[in-house]
Structure 1
Amino acid sequence: MIAAEDGHASLANSGAYAKPWHWHDCVMFILPSQGTLELKHEDRREGTWLSHDRFAVVPSNRAHKTRAGIGANSHVALYATGDMLHRLDRDIGSLSEFHRRTRAAVLVRRTSTIRTLQELAMKSDDGAYGHAGVKRSLSAALLVQCIAEVIAGEMMPNVSKREHGMALVADLKEYLTLHADEDIPLDALCERFGISRRHVTRLFRDGTGLSVGEFQQGIRLQTARELLSGTDLPISEIAFRVGFDSGAALAHAMRRVDGRSPSDIRKEAPSPARQARSSRAQAAQSAVAE
């Protein structure tokens, strides 16, 4: 339980989550935080997949079932009673458009505002003064923002099982890009995302055409190219920053992939110092001309 008060509540779930067919006498919002979640409901029994870019709204008394997808996952579920929605309609503004759009279960784009409120609501800080009150306020703000996105935001299409796999690949790519300078064993990656070596290897190659190692190597080399062209940093320093043991190791990888050495790439691009001098000279010429 994250927070609860008269009319609404918010719960956090993770791990091997699964709920058989059931219904609520209130509106439910499901917001994935990590990984994916399958949602089936009486209007779409073949199911759809939720990931970090969308959330679902299930109307009251609508039968549905949910289960976590393959891999590490967590999500937040918000519940709002009819009385709570009536108070919002009275105190904040009409919810007629919200009710019109949620006659059946819908998927809505999860914006950066919702993502931030969700992360804050899930943050654990039990020892802080007023912790329970802060949680209730954040939960209420998250609920109101979700309603606002349903009214004015972008409705999203249903997602197939294949697209669910691609969402997991997107999460893997984002993680590998953020940690491209680190050596990440495949077993460690599998443990983090809760999937087997065989599954992550097949899924990643199907989605990118590359192995995990090839993708990470590509990110390292692209970052190295940008640093070589845009900075005067020593080649050994660039090699260290992007995850190679030495300048020689970076040079070997670049020659194998590009057929060029780091020095070749640097020679082909004007140095930042020369670019700066050129810009100052152009500015001076313009001032004289004026």
Structure 2
Amino acid sequence: MLRSFIQLCQPANKNLLVAADDGHATLTGGGTYAMPWHWHDCLMFILPSHGAVELRHEDRRAGTWLSQDRFAVVPSGRAHQTQAGCATHTHVAVYVTADALRRLDVGVGSLGEFRRRTRTPILVRRTAAIRALQELSLRNDMGTYGGPTIRHALSSALLMQCIAEVIAGKTLPGTSPGEHGMALVADLEAFVTSHADQDIPLDALEERFGISRRHITRLFRAGTGLSIGEFQQRTRYENACRLLAETDLPVGEVAFRVGFESGAALARAMRRLGGHAPSDLRTTMARPVKS
């Protein structure tokens, strides 16, 4: 099935279109995304933002996994299929036509190396610059004045950065299902860390990540050596140590902010995990340095 560049620029859900012109388009996708075998009359970059995406193509029907450390380039006319690794994934896809690439070849500089590297689908390291442009292009708080123009400029910059990374960056091998599992563990760690002050039922994780409670707990322990509860306690402990060292907040307030029900509960956790009390940490930090 052909999905043409014109079709890509006119998605049924207009909210998926970030920016488009006559040469390139940027779209976003997420949730329980799955696209059966198809091909494009343009080149595609696919960049996961959260979670993982499985990519299969005619040169690698066994499939490979994309996560936050890599993106894929699929040349025009190459049959492929993609699907979400978990229900909460998000990704960005950038499409560029052959005519647009020819204009860049003339106006910006030779794309000979880019064309050589993208004769077949490849995986490329996703750099901090690409990550930043990707996140900026998806922001919804740009305001009414100039919003579409800003999004188009960011989309163009993302395209150029992707091309630059293909030319000068590091190509990567395909990843295995085990590595996909580690990508999910990284997402779980990030989620638990950002919500460490809250109770996180396994049911909530199952709903958010689209995988069973049993699989979540097994995967997390295999990847970190800790249960989710133990990891959360350690994160709360580290957050409490930072607040105790950097602020004058009462111990009870520190406990509340990091997720413990009381100062006594915080003190018990600190003795168990660090071998010291909250007051010990503050005394150590306040001790003058001898010259």
The bucket for the TM-score relative to the shorter chain is 0.7 to 0.9
Q: Which of 55, 65, 69 in structure 2 is aligned with 1:53?
A: 69
* Pairwise CA distance, 1:151: 0.9
Q: Distance in 1 between matches of 2:241 and 2:255?
A: 10
Q: Which residue of structure 1 lines up, in the alignment, with residue 286 of structure 2?
A: 272
* Pairwise CA distance, 1:46: 1.0
Amino acid corresponding to residue 214 of structure 1 in structure 2: E
Q: Which residue of structure 1 lines up, in the alignment, with residue 13 of structure 2?
A: none
Q: Which of 12, 18, 21 in structure 2 is aligned with 1:5?
A: 21
Alpha-carbon contact 1:232-1:272 (below 8 Å) kept:
no
Identity level (%)? 64
Deviation larger for 222-231 or 151-160:
222-231
Change (3 A) 1:129 1:222: closer
Amino acid corresponding to residue 202 of structure 2 in structure 1: L
Q: Distance in 1 between matches of 2:275 and 2:135?
A: 45
Q: Distance in 2 between matches of 1:70 and 1:81?
A: 30
Q: Which residue of structure 2 lines up, in the alignment, with residue 181 of structure 1?
A: 197
Q: Distance in 2 between matches of 1:190 and 1:119?
A: 25
- Do residues 19 (structure 1) and 32 (structure 2) align? no
Amino acid corresponding to residue 186 of structure 2 in structure 1: A
3-state SS in 2 of match to 1:274: coil
Q: Which residue of structure 2 lines up, in the alignment, with residue 128 of structure 1?
A: 144
3-state SS in 1 of match to 2:288: helix
* Pairwise CA distance, 1:264: 4.5
3-state SS in 2 of match to 1:89: helix
3-state SS in 1 of match to 2:148: helix
TM-score (norm 2): 0.85
Q: Distance in 2 between matches of 1:129 and 1:234?
A: 45
* Deviation readout 1:115-161 (Å, 9 max, x if unpaired): 22222222236961333333322222111111011111222221111
Q: Distance in 1 between matches of 2:136 and 2:272?
A: 46
Q: Which residue of structure 2 lines up, in the alignment, with residue 170 of structure 1?
A: 186
Ranges in structure 2 where 5+ consecutive residues have no aligned partner: 1-16
Q: Distance in 2 between matches of 1:109 and 1:226?
A: 33
Q: Distance in 2 between matches of 1:28 and 1:10?
A: 10
Q: Which of 177, 191, 194 in structure 2 is aligned with 1:161?
A: 177
Ranges in structure 1 where 5+ consecutive residues have no aligned partner: 283-290
* Deviation readout 1:254-288 (Å, 9 max, x if unpaired): 33445543344555x3x33523xx4xxx4xxxxxx
